[in-house]
């Protein structure tokens, strides 16, 4: 039975004849609906900013960010968390909990999303001061609600990303990012606009979080270490772009830094040995600009 109280379950009046259209017109119709998503995300950026600021404070204090989701929402959370270590060199600080575990990533397991107790169990390692973010298109998935309530009990900050701006569970969390994506091209298929909006919010949240934590320098990835020859060549290019110095000088600095890009960058721009660059980065929680400012004011 379709729950008409859920915006994503409603019937889209603009796509009633979708099954009668030729291929190109179906694609155009989907594309037209998709084009509304960025504007929806733009309307919730103040809430996303609040969540980023909470997460920055939490991670700087030694906490972690936990995602909780089921189905499409959970899979998007897993993707986001998995892509942060290779891009920003941050390991084990942003973790995803997907209802049903790894097996549910490639094969849908429908009943796990209704398991409140499973959500509570999956939240067992959330600590006071951590950030627990529930992701649910409906805004009321029992697995997610159970996890968030458990997280709140232990003193973690809580947030909800949903496509149901008026869900009553939004009042239970500190930050509710309610995305008004409306009915889907195919009623209830929340892998479409709802999934796209969720992906955009997660991209924006986690990328901004990494920027605020000093995991980039300008718009360059400087938190990736040289673990193989391909990466080493990429990082030398990044260092040459960031410093304007010759590739040979940057390659030597990277070698002296043991493959650590941020150490090499601070060493080059701060004109200090790698050991001194390492020390200053430790004092500034790894922020390149903060490290350089400290060197210049010393």
241 is catalytic: no
C-alpha 263/C-alpha 137 separation (Å) is 42
Span 60-115, pLDDT tens digits: 999 999 999 999 999 999 999 999 998 998 999 999 999 999 888 888 777 899 99
Distances (CA, A) of 227 to 193, 252, 260, 266: 38, 16, 9, 19
Contact at 8 Å (CB) between 50 and 201? no
pLDDT attached to residue 2: 39
pLDDT attached to residue 285: 86
Question: Per 3-state DSSP, what percentage of the chain is helix, strand, and coil (rounded to 5)?
Answer: 55, 10, 35
- Fill in the DSSP letter of residue 173: S
For the segment 274-280, the average pLDDT, to the nearest whole number, is: 97
pLDDT attached to residue 227: 76
- Fill in the DSSP letter of residue 129: T
Query: Out of 83, 172, 241, 256, which one is annotated catalytic?
Result: 83
Span 201-218, pLDDT tens digits: 999 999 999 999 999 999
Q: What is the pTM of this model?
A: 0.93
Q: Which domains does the chain have, with CATH numbers?
A: 7-212 (3.40.50.10490), 218-297 (1.10.8.1080)
Span 49-61, pLDDT tens digits: 999 999 999 999 9
Going by pLDDT thresholds of 50, 70 and 90, the confidence category of residue 12 is very high
Going by pLDDT thresholds of 50, 70 and 90, the confidence category of residue 4 is very low
Query: Out of 9, 33, 113, 251, which one is annotated catalytic?
Result: 113
Measured from the Cβ of residue 296, the count of other Cβ atoms closer than 10 Å reads 9
83 is catalytic: yes
């Amino acid at each position: 039975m379709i729950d008409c109280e859920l915006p994503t379950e409603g019937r889209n009046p603009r796509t009633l004849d979708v099954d009668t259209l030729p291929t190109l017109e179906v694609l155009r119709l989907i594309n037209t609906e998709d084009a509304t998503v960025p504007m929806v995300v733009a309307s919730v950026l103040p809430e996303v900013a609040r969540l980023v600021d909470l997460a920055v404070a939490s991670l700087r204090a030694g906490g972690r960010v936990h995602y909780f989701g089921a189905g499409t929402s959970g899979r998007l959370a897993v993707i986001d968390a998995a892509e942060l270590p290779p891009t920003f060199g941050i390991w084990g600080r942003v973790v995803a909990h997907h209802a049903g575990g790894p097996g549910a990533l490639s094969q849908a397991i429908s009943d796990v999303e209704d398991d409140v107790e499973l959500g509570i169990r999956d939240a067992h390692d959330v600590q006071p001061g951590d950030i627990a973010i529930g992701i649910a298109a409906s805004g009321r998935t029992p697995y997610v609600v159970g996890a968030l309530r458990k997280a709140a009990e232990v003193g973690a900050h809580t947030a909800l990303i949903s496509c149901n701006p008026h869900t009553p569970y939004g009042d239970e969390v500190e930050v509710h990012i309610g995305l008004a994506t409306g009915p889907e091209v195919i009623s209830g298929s929340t892998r479409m606009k709802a999934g796209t909006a969720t992906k955009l919010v997660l991209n924006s949240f986690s990328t901004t979080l990494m920027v605020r934590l000093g995991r980039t320098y300008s718009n360059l990835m400087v938190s990736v270490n040289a673990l193989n020859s391909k990466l080493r060549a990429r990082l030398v290019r990044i260092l040459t772009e960031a410093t304007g110095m010759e590739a040979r000088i940057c390659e030597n600095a990277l070698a002296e830094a043991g493959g650590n890009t941020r150490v090499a960058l601070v060493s080059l721009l701060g004109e200090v040995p790698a050991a001194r660059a390492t020390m200053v980065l430790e004092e500034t929680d790894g922020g390149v600009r903060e490290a350089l400012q400290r060197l210049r004011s010393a």
